[in-house]
Chain A
Amino acid sequence: MTIKLNRSAPSIIAYIVLVFLGIFFILPFIWVLVSSLNTSATFSVTWPAHPSLENFQIVISTGLVAQPFKNSLILAGSTMLLTILLSGLAAYPLSRYHFRFKSALMYGILFVSALPILAFITPLYALYVALDPIVHMIDTFHGVILFLVASALPFNIWLMKNYLDSVSIELEEAAWVDGASTLTALFRVVLPLSAPGIAVVGVLSFTGAWSNFFIPFIIFQNPDNLPASVNIFSFFGAYGSVNYGQLTAYAMLYALPVMVLYITVSRFFVKGVNLGGVKG
């Protein structure tokens, strides 16, 4: 795919503006980068006298990383996969079919998800306690994952529905004419074309689950099950002298998996496939 690079005057202005914005975005990060290499870091941004990776070593070796990160990966990864699957499935009828209560349904599910999470904690815990005789939910991974998925679904169903709206129905109808069932057409025609939607939903749901602190904090009781999001919260809230070097090193490690996911998936954000089969 050839990329048209624009070298005219408006383009140069655009670059200048973008560079300024880039600087705006990167400034607060500089402190993190610089401090993580400094064993006696403060708020000021100064290149350390003896830059070292010791902060990272300390953070990793005191068990703040291995188990919590593993837990976080399980939670976030499962949430992401389930959310993509369920929101894609649910968004399809909402996009394709007419039904009278469609608007109400869509608004309803969206607003329910807007309730601040603080209001959910007590009811959810009470619910889990009530369910205990039937199915054990407290201190389980599935107990946390199911709620994370539930809270990610409304937002992501909306997003998926909007992405699906832009996949022309003619393509699917062509597949149906060729004998494909609804499900086959969905998987082989629609889904690949809605790759940007799936990519965004994936990143969003993973990130949301990765950084969710309240729910694992409440539901898990065994400290070995706690994910990194809980650990980092207590790290930042530690009383007494806070070691900014270790704090920033931990923050960088914590942000890493999410960044890796984004970088891997970002090329799907751009819809570049031209099937050529639909005019206008």
Chain B
Amino acid sequence: MQVEVARSVTPARGGRRRTHLRTGILFMSPAFLIMLIFLIGPVLYAVYVSGTNMALTGVGAASPQWIGFSNFSHILQDNAFFNALRVSLTYLVGSALIGQAVLGMLLALLMRHRHPVFKSILGAIAVAAWIIPDVVAGFLWYAFLAGGPQSIVTPGLLNSILSTFGLPQHAWLQEYPMAAVIVANTWRGTAFSMLLYASALEGIPPELFEAASMDGANIWKRVRYITLPLLKGTIATDLVLITLATLSDFTLVWVMTAGGPGFKTQLLTIYTYQQAFKFYELGYGTAISLLILAVGAVLSLLYLRILRIEL
């Protein structure tokens, strides 16, 4: 992910290859064993469950039956699912791809060569936003956006600031729910991208920039022709990771809007939760989860294609 220096041991032949394979397997086995038992196992079981009508009450509880792709075809005929898909994708593009990645890159670029104390403070604040648990972050934003003309609660900080400047107050979570959760998630997750890009930037030899500026390249050119190409691997990693993380996001939006008003901010995960837990339809809920996973997988492969990355 940093500048790619010679990294692989020359492909081994014969006995050397066997040693590599043996060492490789030895090193990887503890991790893969744990993942196999505690991750893959439950996932396979989840795949099975998604083909049943398992539930916590009613017929599905007493004797769950295999119903094949029935859950999936129901989902694909459900308007609520497509709404949730649309909401999740909007949320993803807005808060992760545009919000966190761009802002993270901007912060990482701007913070180079700044005073270290300033960097630590700003960095710590950004990281604090990322590190605090979802519940707290959701509630922070709920409080920040509270109030509005018809609200019975005291105005939160945003509305207070607006009223001091004579600008109109709004019930943000009611009137602009998607914008609110997108901004909140951007605020929340930017630090991760910032950290990735900052440490990757450290790996670029400064001589490259010096040579470029001596050749007359200004900042934008340097960023476009040196920084970004060299960071392609990091960008791909970042996009993949934040996509998968954002698609699984639940608590932040749940605390802020509970998927409302109406269904305006009902993410796929919130839709899943309501299907699986409120209506106790485990089979159905699990099927939706697998579809979320599929969406994430497709998107990730897309990024890697576009950025022409190879592992």
Contacts and interface: CB of A to CB of B under 8 A. Distances in A.
A84 to B, nearest CB: 11
Contacts of A258: 131-132
Interface string A174-211: 00000000100000000000001000100100010011
B134 A123 contact: no
Contacts of B269: 116, 118
B42 A127 contact: yes
> Interface size bucket, B side?
35 or more
A123 B125 CA distance: 38
Given A43-B147, A150-B39, A162-B234, A255 B195 contact: no
A111 B293 contact: yes
Contact of B9 (A21, A118, A169, A271): A169
Contact of A18 (B118, B237, B285): B118
Contacts of B233: 162, 165
B144 A27 contact: yes
A98 B8 contact: yes
Contact of A4 (B37, B113, B248, B292): B113
Interface residues of A, number: 105
Interface string A29-52: 111100100000011110000000
A93 B6 contact: no
A167 B129 CA distance: 31
| Max chain B Cβ within 10 angstroms of own Cβ: one of A123, A211, A213 | A123
Contacts of B187: 24-25, 28
A271 B247 contact: no
23 contacts: A5-B114, A10-B219, A15-B118, A21-B106, A31-B156, A45-B157, A90-B32, A93-B24, A95-B7, A97-B9, A111-B300, A114-B247, A115-B290, A116-B247, A116-B248, A119-B43, A166-B4, A166-B5, A166-B203, A168-B5, A200-B195, A259-B124, A271-B203
- 3 shortest interchain CB distances as A-B pairs: A166-B2, A162-B1, A93-B24
Interface of A: 3-6, 10-11, 14-15, 17-18, 21-22, 24-32, 35, 42-45, 86-87, 89-90, 92-99, 102-103, 106-107, 109-120, 122-124, 126-127, 146-147, 149-151, 153-155, 157-159, 162-170, 182, 196, 200, 203, 207, 210-211, 213, 229, 232-233, 236, 244, 247, 251, 254-255, 258-259, 262-263, 266, 269-271, 278
